[in-house]
């Protein structure tokens, strides 16, 4: 059970990182277009 939970937490962590990475890219794009 401990291993399964750790695995699930890892997946959730990856999904969060993915979401934040996407947000970061979007923000960077907005900043760049504002500068130009």
Provide the pLDDT for residue 19: 92
Is the sign of the CA dihedral 24, 29, 30, 34 positive or negative?
positive
Q: Could you read off the pLDDT of 1-36 as tens digits, one per residue? A: 567 788 888 899 899 999 999 999 999 998 898 886
Confidence (pTM):
0.52
Provide the pLDDT for residue 1: 57
């Amino acid at each position: 059970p401990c291993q399964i939970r750790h695995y699930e937490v890892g997946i959730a962590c990856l999904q969060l990182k993915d979401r934040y990475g996407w947000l970061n890219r979007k923000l960077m794009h907005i900043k760049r277009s504002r500068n130009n």
